Amino acid sequence: MKTQTLNLLKKEFVLGNSLQSIIWSICCLAMYFIPSYPMYVGPFYITLCIFMTFALNQSTHDILYTVLLPVKKTDVVRARFLYCGMMEFFAILSALLACLIKNLAGFPENKAGIDLTISFFGLLMIEFSIFNLIFLGNVYKNPLKSGLRFILAAVIYFIMYAAFDFPVWTYRACVKKIADGELQELNIIAKLGQIFTGQNESILLQLCVLLLGLVIYVLTWLLTFRRAAKQFEKYNM
């Protein structure tokens, strides 16, 4: 990695983002432990952290300061993307930690939706992929006006949350109906929810969801970076 990029990445953490990175990260981790609470809310705090990075940089004129440095605009974008990627990685890492603690402590099943299963991590990476594509993939058209782009990305984030949790809700409703004798077998959507909840005996299917999420995340991250770098090259203060 280039020295310029490393120095710019250090700037991201040291000059203005260190405190908020810690605060939003703590919020993300804490949300995983709330009983019967949507698991996707915690990672959403990381997207808020990413947005606030642009909002705070606007008030401190960070963009103007950075472009006046003897660095390439591409390196500026790369450093910001690495910062965002590290924050998203923390959301995944903290979910792994929360999963371990909850299993050891015997936490009850999450009744509000998906739990911290293998499938969850794949779906979370897809959530981040869509957010990055919408927000980071467009914000560099004008980094000083990030509000509307974040609102759109946030709305899509929660639509995706509902879409991913719907099979889980359907599965649990079908299980109850089967127990009551009102239903004979699971429908297709409920079977998908069975995979998401980890109730399906085949761990291979969950690993497929995880792998799919990882592939989508990597591909969209690279695509979004190239798009953002081109936008910032054309941007004039």
**Number of independent structural domains in the chain:** 1
pTM for the whole thing?
0.91
Residues shown for the chain: 237
Burial class (CB in 10 A: 0-12, 13-18, 19+), 122: buried
* 14-18, 31-35, 195-199: range with lowest mean pLDDT: 14-18
Q: What is the pLDDT of residue 209?
A: 93
* Domain that includes residue 140, residue range: 3-234
Q: What is the pLDDT of residue 1?
A: 56
pLDDT in tens, 133-179: 999 999 998 888 888 999 999 999 999 999 999 999 999 999 999 98
pLDDT in tens, 151-161: 999 999 999 99
Name the more confident of 35 and 63.
35
Region class of 65: left (phi > 0), else alpha (psi between -120 and 50), else beta = alpha
Name the more confident of 217 and 8.
217
Q: Which pLDDT band, with edges at 50, 70 and 90, does 201 fall under? A: low
Neighbours of 148 (CB within 10 A): 10
User: How many angstroms separate the CA atoms of 174 and 166, rounded?
Assistant: 12
Q: Residue 59 pLDDT more than 90?
A: no
Q: What is the pLDDT of residue 62?
A: 78
pLDDT in tens, 94-126: 999 999 999 899 888 888 889 999 999 999 999
